């Protein structure tokens, strides 16, 4: 299990390092300006739909359905063609009326800014059909126990955007955003090529070819498989997408605040997502097939043992990450972003948002772990209900906090929603199971280590100031 975790973690780390270089260059060139807000808006829309339709829910439902199907080739291609057709129609619609979609995600923008942003939104949206194709191929690779290509492929997007920024050096802000948008599409193409190469090397091309060849002839015999997939997919899609809907609402509400607020959310969330992706998501991806297999075979004890190991691994590492990030929030933002057009006030504002996000790092990470139990037991509807409650809590607190706390209040509302989500997920998982995991000397070590680590960082903070 841990070998798979570290394979995913190293791939994600490599990609995130390049992502931070990309963000550093973006902050230096565009700062927290109207054009940086425009690019983040344009890139957020396809990312939102990518996470709703492609990542998470698709893989969690497709792999078990693919494994069960007696006609794997035809079933997989049928699902691929169905989803890709919907996504291509959506992409064409966005390109026909980009102003409507831009207005929907950034209603706080005035008419002139929406006109400026609309062409970039249309161009960036072509990333969605590309990355869905990547996700489909990644699910096939995961079924064959190949994780490396997907883990490292995101780096290609970051390399493409870094190249775009370097080529756009010295040009106007509008041209820079255009180059970045082209870079997004080019990154999607590169990721698709990388996955096609991996599929070819693993000998899976015959499966895909056979699926296309016999699709019309054998479609009726996969009707039951397809219907079961659809029944499980839509609750799973909603359960996985509420975090993205929250991010969408963050952007929507931040567009009513001062210029730069969207960028503060983006930069802070990028840092927050690093430990979440490196450890929580990497652990969940590696653990899910194992837990699902044990539960399918009726061996709940082994499933719980694996979950317990992952729980303490995440508890230690996410707690340390959260403490370090909160204590050194200003220093982290200063070191990473404060240069060029990104000034000291931008650092202060982004750090405040980062602290609010990091308070929820542990609950968000653990929720990703325990929700796998629900999916492995095919409790997608229950997970969707929990996600809905969490989203409602977020909306209530976001509306309550936006006026007194500004953009930091939006991040805090998301964190509170994460706590609520973890509570109800654990309730469904079973409090007796959870407390059985919690009863351990590890809890004492965790609490004591947290206090000592906090004291050490506070002591070292003055020394760190001397070098930045």
CA atoms within 13 A on the CB side of 131: 26
Greatest alpha-carbon span in the chain: 71
Calculated CA dihedral for residues 22, 24, 29, 34, nearest 10 degrees: 90
pLDDT at position 259, please?
A: 79
Separation of alpha carbons 335 and 323, rounded Å: 18
Q: How far apart are CA 370 and CA 441, in angstroms?
A: 21
Alpha helices in 277-379 (DSSP H): 282-296, 300-327, 329-337, 344-358, 361-376
Residue 426 is predicted with a pLDDT of: 95
- b/e code 416-444 from CB counts within 10 Å (16+ = b): bbbbbbbebbbebbeeebbeebeeeebee
Q: How far apart are CA 261 and CA 34, in angstroms?
A: 10
The answer to whether residues 343 and 32 touch, using CB atoms and an 8 Å cutoff, is no
Q: What share of the chain is helix, strand, coil (3-state, %, to 5)?
A: 90, 0, 10
C-alpha–C-alpha distance, residues 364 and 422, integer Å: 7
Dihedral angle at the C-alpha atoms of 112, 97, 84, 61, nearest 10 degrees?
60
- The Cα 257–Cα 253 span in angstroms is 7
Angle at 465 between CA 462 and CA 468, to 5 degrees: 165
DSSP 8-state symbol, 147: -
For the chain, the residue count is 468
Which pLDDT belongs to residue 47? Answer: 72
Q: For residue 181, what pLDDT is reported?
A: 92
Where helices occur in 97-214 by DSSP H, the ranges are 98-105, 111-124, 127-143, 148-167, 173-201, 205-213
pTM equals 0.73
CA distance linking residue 1 with residue 217, whole number of Å: 40
Residue among 253, 189, 273, 244 at smallest CA distance from 397: 253
pLDDT for residue 194:
94
pLDDT at 220: 75
pLDDT in the model for residue 133: 92
Tens of pLDDT, residue by residue, the chain (468 residues): 556 666 767 777 787 788 778 877 887 777 767 787 888 888 877 776 666 655 567 777 787 777 777 888 888 888 899 889 998 999 999 899 988 888 877 767 778 888 888 888 899 999 989 989 998 998 888 777 787 888 888 889 989 999 998 898 878 888 888 999 999 999 999 999 999 999 999 888 888 888 887 777 667 778 777 887 877 787 877 777 777 778 778 878 888 887 788 888 888 988 998 888 888 888 887 787 778 778 767 788 888 998 999 999 999 999 999 999 999 999 889 888 887 778 888 899 999 999 999 999 999 999 989 988 888 777 878 888 998 999 999 999 999 999 899 999 999 999 999 999 999 999 999 999 999 999 888 888 999 999 998 888 887 877 766 655
Residue 379's pLDDT is 82
Closest to 76 in 3D by CA, of 193, 194, 197, 206: 206
**Any idea what the Cα angle at residue 303 is, between residues 302 and 308, rounded to 5°?**
95
The Cα-based distances of 380 to 56, 140, 180, 223, 296 in angstroms read 12, 22, 37, 21, 16
Calculate Rg over the CA atoms of the chain: 22
Domain boundaries, the chain: 34-240, 260-461
Q: Supply the pLDDT for residue 468.
A: 53
């Amino acid at each position: 299990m841990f070998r798979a975790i570290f394979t995913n973690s190293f791939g994600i780390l490599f990609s995130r390092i390049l992502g931070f270089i990309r963000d550093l260059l973006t902050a230096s060139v565009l700062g927290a300006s109207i054009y940086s807000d425009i690019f983040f808006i344009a890139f957020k829309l396809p990312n939102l739909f990518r996470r709703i339709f492609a990542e998470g829910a698709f893989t969690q439902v497709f792999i078990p359905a693919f494994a069960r199907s007696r006609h794997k080739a035809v079933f997989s291609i049928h699902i691929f063609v169905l989803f890709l057709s919907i996504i291509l129609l959506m992409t064409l619609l966005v390109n026909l009326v980009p102003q409507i979609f831009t207005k929907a995600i950034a209603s706080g923008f005035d008419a002139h800014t929406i006109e400026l942003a609309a062409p970039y939104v249309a161009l960036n949206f072509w990333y969605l059909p590309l990355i869905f194709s990547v996700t489909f191929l990644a699910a096939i690779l995961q079924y064959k126990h190949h994780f490396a290509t997907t883990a490292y492929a995101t780096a290609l997007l970051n390399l493409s955007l870094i190249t775009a920024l370097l080529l756009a050096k010295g040009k106007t802000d509008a041209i820079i955003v255009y180059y970045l948008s082209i870079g997004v599409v080019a990154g999607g193409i590169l990721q698709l090529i990388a996955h096609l190469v991996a599929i070819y090397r693993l000998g899976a091309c015959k499966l895909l070819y056979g699926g296309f060849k016999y699709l019309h002839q054998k479609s009726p015999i996969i009707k039951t498989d397809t219907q079961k997939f659809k029944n499980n997919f839509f609750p799973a899609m909603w359960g996985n997408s509420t975090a993205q809907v929250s991010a969408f609402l963050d952007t929507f509400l931040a567009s009513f605040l001062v210029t730069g607020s969207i960028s503060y959310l983006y930069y802070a969330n990028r840092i927050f997502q690093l430990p979440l992706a490196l450890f929580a998501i990497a652990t969940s991806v590696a653990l899910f097939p194992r837990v699902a297999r044990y539960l399918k075979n009726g061996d709940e004890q082994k499933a719980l043992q694996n979950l317990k190991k992952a729980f303490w691994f995440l508890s230690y590492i996410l707690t340390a990450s959260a403490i370090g990030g909160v204590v050194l929030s200003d220093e982290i933002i200063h070191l990473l972003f404060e240069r060029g057009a990104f000034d000291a006030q931008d650092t202060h504002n982004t750090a405040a948002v980062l602290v609010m996000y990091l308070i929820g790092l542990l609950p968000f990470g653990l929720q990703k772990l325990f929700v796998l139990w629900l999916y492995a037991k095919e409790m997608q509807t229950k997970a969707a209900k929990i996600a809905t409650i969490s989203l409602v809590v977020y909306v209530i607190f976001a509306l309550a906090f936006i006026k007194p706390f500004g953009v930091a209040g939006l991040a805090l509302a998301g964190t509170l929603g994460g706590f609520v989500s973890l509570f109800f997920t654990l309730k469904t998982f079973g409090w007796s199971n959870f407390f059985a995991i919690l009863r351990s000397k590890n809890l004492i070590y965790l609490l004591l280590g947290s206090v000592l680590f906090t004291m050490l960082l506070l002591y070292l903070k003055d020394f760190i100031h001397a070098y930045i």
